[in-house]
Amino acid sequence: MYLLNNGLKIPKVGFGTWKATDKEQCKNAVRTALEIGYRHIDTAAIYGNEDAVGEGIAEFLKNNNVSREELFIVTKVWNTEQGYETTLKAYEESLKKLGLDYIDMYLIHWPQPKDLNKTWKTWRALETLYKSGKVKAIGVCNMKEHHLKHIMNNFEIVPAVNQIELHPYLQQRELKKFCDENGIVVEAWSPLMQGALDHEGLKKIAEKNKKTVAQIVLKWHLQKGLLPLPKSVTPSRIMENFQLDFILDEDDMKYIDSLNKEERIGPDPDEITF
């Protein structure tokens, strides 16, 4: 578990559900992940699967001796709903689709470079939700240092997490350092580089450790103090991505560190138009 800046604990690996749009497949994947031992599920309004995620959670809780309080469920407000009132409404809609009484953590999905005032109003709405007890923690995604500084200088609550694109090819070290210094947990989306794991050096490390390349990359994240969000709908992969009870030695870590080329798969948060 990582400790968030408000004292709440968050499981160190989250189960991502981006692109899991087939309802039955998504529901089964979430249930499978929870059965394997994941306790942190990450979704978003724009994924269009909150209802399926909610059904997977409900099925799991019904058939297992685990309480809702043991799970950590996260969703995000989409760009078109940004603004104060619209965000409050979007939260209620997400809650309804998920079929839950509360959401553990609510995140702003992207800053809006063309209208950052909207994003700041959204943060104010998240603070309202947090203070009213409707969410246990609030955070952001895809924010750079200048975004975070604005929030910290103008609002009461420091984001609990910043969920950003981060993997061996895009390590965002300066941003990670800034987040560490300010008690913000860094979550990594696309930690497995959307499957770009066909790398000779990584394969050698995997062979040496008798693990898969995916496991090596996820373990690198954990040893860096990052919170990876691997996504899969394949039961064997869901299991594999959770079996990370080994340690990478210093040479392995240094080698993976050396792969950094600050290369994004996704868009630059300062340049998005959606």
pLDDT 10s digits, 115-158: 999 999 999 999 999 999 999 999 999 999 999 999 999 999 99
**Whole-angstrom Cα distance, residue 273 to residue 131?**
31
- Look up residue 7 and give its DSSP letter: S
**Whole-angstrom Cα distance, residue 1 to residue 199?**
30
**For residue range 13-40, what is the model confidence (pLDDT) as tens digits?**
999 999 887 999 999 999 999 999 999 9
Tokens 């604990």 correspond to what residue? 9
Domains of the chain plus CATH, in order, are: 2-195+226-232 (3.20.20.100)
**Whole-angstrom Cα distance, residue 107 to residue 113?**
17
**For residue range 186-228, what is the model confidence (pLDDT) as tens digits?**
999 999 997 778 899 999 999 999 999 999 999 999 999 999 9
> Catalytic residues, which ones?
47
Please say whether the beta carbons of 16 and 245 come within 8 A: no
The chain-wide mean pLDDT, for the chain, equals 97
